[in-house]
A = this chain, B = another copy of it.
Amino acid sequence: MIICRARRLSLESGLMAERYIVIIAGGKGERFWPQSRAARPKQLLPIVGDSPLLTQTVERVKPIVPTENIYVITSALQEKGVRAVCSGLPKANIIAEPEGRDTAAAVGLAAAIIGARDPTGVFAVLPADHVIHNRKKYQSDLNAAFTAAAAAPVMVTIGIAPTEPATGFGYVQRAKPWKTIRRKTVYTVKRFVEKPDLATAKKYLRAGTYFWNAGMFVWSVPVVENAIAKFAPELDAGLQLIRAALAKGRKLGPVMKKVYPTLQKISVDYALLEKSDNVVVLPSTFDWDDVGAWPAVARHYPPDAHGNVGRGLRMVEQGKGNIVFSEGEHLVVVVGADDLIVVHTADATLVCPKNKAEEIKAAVKRVSTLTDGQRLL
């Protein structure tokens, strides 16, 4: 079914469609407090590597598309920080949402902006804050996904082969092989599933046909806009005002400010992907880590003889498995403790056992209730 429609519509999209990248830089990063803050979330920090994760994401896609085809969608709060780390991109390509309206609105906005420039453009939506070390494989997979999305009116998901029964991600279940592109098999999708419980996640892991939904999609402007019109008409009505303003050559700012906060707030997974029958999945061949919290960071740093990792001025005496980050010329000394997260910044320090890292987010909310606590968020 999908295959027939795809072949028929591919002529409309055009096989040689121009390619665009849309990086979604909206994460709050409360889990990385105190290093991350509301205006300086994870993607703006060198949590792993020597540059902010957003900068690393931009650098990874630069060999795939011209710089002027790279867009970043962020929040008003983070705009300044994003501009600072994306100084190589055209200013107009950094777009700040007046307020967050979830991913469907961001994808619809991206389609509107790219569509105004190139009605048949194909664009990838990529998160800003993932860690990927193997750039070559990443670029190769992304190129294949672009080819797929240009060849047929499909929604290409890049699926991550699970390495553990994670309960923090949604999953994509593949169906049959759909197409082979550069020796990579792309599959039709049987279904999208939301975050499973552990038993279900274990079943998915054993089955071998489920992939993590990492929020990486490649599709054409018409495919996205058709899906929004069909499955999210309320969102489509709002976006139509933005498309109309852009079609008249008006500036994006004023219409965004007026319309964006009124857009339907819904995730792209729920609004489009779970409902569409033209979704395909390309299993990734690159390494991938969303480094969702401090314990995940440890995987990317060389451990000392006792499994301690970190960055900055630090010393662990008689302790193992600790994650110690210190900013500035400040020394952090851990004595006789194991498996702690210790993060020191200029104005706040966190101490938390690694197995309690999921509690950090709630603790950060409580910080706001302290006298003068707002300055620390």
Chain A residues with a Cβ under 8 A of chain B: 34, 313, 315, 317-318, 326, 329-337, 340, 342, 344, 346-353, 355-356, 359-360, 362-363, 366-367, 370, 372-373, 376
Number of copies: 2
Q: Are A349 and B367 in contact (CB under 8 A)?
A: no
Q: Are A331 and B367 in contact (CB under 8 A)?
A: yes
Q: Which residues of B contact A355 (CB under 8 A)?
A: 336
- Shortest CB-to-CB span from A360 to chain B, Å, is 6
Q: Which residues of B contact A351 (CB under 8 A)?
A: 332-335, 337, 340, 342, 351
- Shortest CB-to-CB span from A306 to chain B, Å, is 14
Given contacts A349-B344, A363-B317, contact A356 B331 (CB under 8 A): no
Q: Are B333 and A348 in contact (CB under 8 A)?
A: yes
Q: Are A331 and B370 in contact (CB under 8 A)?
A: yes
- Shortest CB-to-CB span from A304 to chain B, Å, is 14
Identify which of B34, B333, B346, B352 contacts A336 (C-beta below 8 A).
B352
A360 to B362, CA, bound (A): 31
Q: Which residues of B contact A352 (CB under 8 A)?
A: 333-337
Identify which of B331, B334, B348 contacts A331 (C-beta below 8 A).
B348
- Shortest CB-to-CB span from A295 to chain B, Å, is 13
Q: Which residues of B contact A315 (CB under 8 A)?
A: 363, 366-367, 370
A334 to B332, CA, bound (A): 15
Q: Which residues of B contact A372 (CB under 8 A)?
A: 329
- Shortest CB-to-CB span from A323 to chain B, Å, is 12
Q: Are A359 and B335 in contact (CB under 8 A)?
A: yes
Q: Are A335 and B349 in contact (CB under 8 A)?
A: no
Count chain B CB atoms within 10 A of each CB in A329, A331, A347, A360 and give the residue with the most.
Answer: A331
- Shortest CB-to-CB span from A79 to chain B, Å, is 26
Q: Which residues of B contact A344 (CB under 8 A)?
A: 344, 349
A353 to B336, CA, bound (A): 7
A4 to B350, CA, bound (A): 65
- Shortest CB-to-CB span from A183 to chain B, Å, is 47
